[in-house]
Amino acid sequence: MKKVMLLAHRGFSGKYPENSPLAFHKAVEETSADGFESDVHITKDGKLIIFHDATVERTSNGTGFIKDHTYEEMLQLDIGSWKSPEFAGQHIWTFDQLLDFCDETNMLLNMELKNYEVFYEGLEQRVIDAISAHKMQDRVFVSSFNHISMQKFKELCPDIKTGLLYDKPYLDIDKYIERSNADNMHPRYMLLQYQPELVDLYHSRGMKVNTWTVNDEENMRDMIHRGVDAIISNHADVLCRVATEE
Which does residue 41 bind out of ligand G3P, Ca ion, none, counting CB within 5 to 8 angstroms by kind?
none
Helix (H, G, I), strand (E, B) or coil at 188: strand
Rounded CA-CA distance 141/99 in Å is 12
Query: 3-state DSSP: the chain helix, strand, coil percent, rounded to 5?
Result: 40, 20, 40
Number of other residues whose CB lies within 10 A of the CB of residue 16: 25
Cβ contacts of residue 191 below 8 Å, gap of 6+?
166, 167, 168, 169, 198
Does the active-site annotation cover 25? Answer: no
Which does residue 165 bind out of Ca ion, ligand G3P, none, counting CB within 5 to 8 angstroms by kind?
ligand G3P
Q: Which is nearer to ligand G3P, 26 or 114 (CB)?
A: 114
CB 208 within 8 A of CB 183: yes
Catalytic-role residue among 9, 69, 186, 235: 9
Q: Which is nearer to ligand G3P, 76 or 188 (CB)?
A: 188
Rounded CA-CA distance 234/215 in Å is 6
Q: Which is nearer to ligand G3P, 34 or 39 (CB)?
A: 39
* Nearest residue to 189 (alpha-carbon basis) of 217, 169, 219: 219
* Nearest residue to 31 (alpha-carbon basis) of 217, 234, 212, 246: 234
18 binds Ca ion (CB under 5 A): no
* Minimum CB–partner distance for residue 165 and ligand G3P (Å): 6
Which does residue 183 bind out of Ca ion, ligand G3P, none, counting CB within 5 to 8 angstroms by kind?
none
Does the active-site annotation cover 52? Answer: yes
Q: Which spans of this chain sit near ligand G3P (rule: CB under 6 A)? A: 9, 37, 39, 52, 112, 143, 165, 186, 212-213, 232
* Minimum CB–partner distance for residue 36 and ligand G3P (Å): 10
CA angle 194, 40, 43 (to 5 degrees): 140
Phi then psi dihedrals of residue 211, to 5 deg:
-110, 160
* Minimum CB–partner distance for residue 72 and ligand G3P (Å): 25
183 binds Ca ion (CB under 5 A): no
> Applying CB under 5 A, which of residues 18, 34, 53, 112 lies at the interface with Ca ion?
112
CB 169 within 8 A of CB 190: no
Which does residue 83 bind out of ligand G3P, Ca ion, none, counting CB within 5 to 8 angstroms by kind?
none
229 binds Ca ion (CB under 5 A): no
* Minimum CB–partner distance for residue 187 and Ca ion (Å): 14
Q: Which is nearer to ligand G3P, 93 or 204 (CB)?
A: 93
> Applying CB under 5 A, which of residues 39, 53, 183, 229 lies at the interface with Ca ion?
39
The set of catalytic residues is 9, 52
